[in-house]
Structure 1
């Protein structure tokens, strides 16, 4: 639970709990309303373990500009069944990467005595499946530990480890997030005022029909949406940009998460823009 207040009093207005992504921007997690004393209380539960850096944002209104709290880091631990642990080598991977699921099995009614030579099965259910299915098997070692062969899920997936034979025992459920992978390439990394650059790229896995954004890095250090398109049936996209002022610009493509995957962003690309050679052709500044 995250609590705090906004000064001056903005009773009844909305605040947003946000998390910093690995791309350096902030994504909304959950919103709340300020009470009569301009205080807020927001409850949020994460799907996967690890360190999460969060803040609370007050969007601008007619009286004040936007403001944000100082960021804080929250350490979230994986829920465990006593005597049957499960861990992931990385609970947030990019599409195409693999992850190793491992853990330790103790003897029944014990959380300290290893249970060796026990066959165990890894079960999985991705975001588009309604039931778990077995995907790998192994046997616990002399210390009760187990490690499955690396898994490469295409979509967000929940894993659980179960004993293969009776007595039936199982670990907690473990969420594995899979991020979209984006590439974006400009037709040139240099231009001039009045010049036009075309950006093309791809998204994996297939995101045909999904909204995608062209973002530009602002002087405030945040990424701002500049153009919106839809991913094509071939899971590709295209943007265009005309420059109104000289300078160095940084762009990237950004796609938000959906049921199947955690959203992602392409690596930034820098465009160097020089003054126009023919000032009479200048467009309005942008």
Structure 2
């Protein structure tokens, strides 16, 4: 694609606790997606909020090391948000957050971008969520949009309002990726395929529901199918869904299916192309869970895994 991707959302410091020991890593779902895209050599700009502290500077170095541009950069006298991540014996992660979310992208020219990705805390927590909605409205005619709800119940105090907000975001998006845990929290007792189909009917061209080791359900206007997960030794699950999302965006970009001008092609994507893209995204996620932390693959890693 000729223009970069814009990712909008929170950046955090993950304080990972396992067996009584802790270590810190840059984190946050949108941050991980932007980092994953950079690792895959996709031109990407990350719109976020960072504190002018050691944690903020560490996140900035982390992103720039993958080739990610950051807007607006570090903010004076504001601390960087954090998440305490506790790993159980299987490597599964649970989260406790200390987050503030505001966003000011200043005079950033949104016409620079063919695609915008958003989601997670940044899509729901005010006051930043209002700015995110304004960005989506501004780019709707010029860029394609992807959304990953990545539900964090700690920030969603009214379930009905959370469902309404999620469905509004889904309807505004071309591409939606959600986990089975997201669906089960939003719609307890309803089936994954049922919700994916309902969401597709509200506007998107593509809805994918991931279920960890259970693989993925893919729903498009040309068909519905499942993709199995890959068998790997799991180190932990941190960033797996974000790595899948980065791989999905990269695959769609490589296939010429991002950007407002390609909406019709995306809407009627053939199943063979879609299958290849999702299989590649699944490979990205499997590499990530095989190593500690949100450590997504590079293009070289993918080449080795496929050889």
TM-score by length of 1: 0.25
Between structures 1 and 2, the one with greater strand share: 1
Looking at CA atoms only, which structure, 1 or 2, has the larger radius of gyration?
1
Q: Which has the higher contact order (CA 8 A, sep 6+)?
A: 2
Between structures 1 and 2, the one with greater helix share: 2
TM-score by length of 2: 0.24
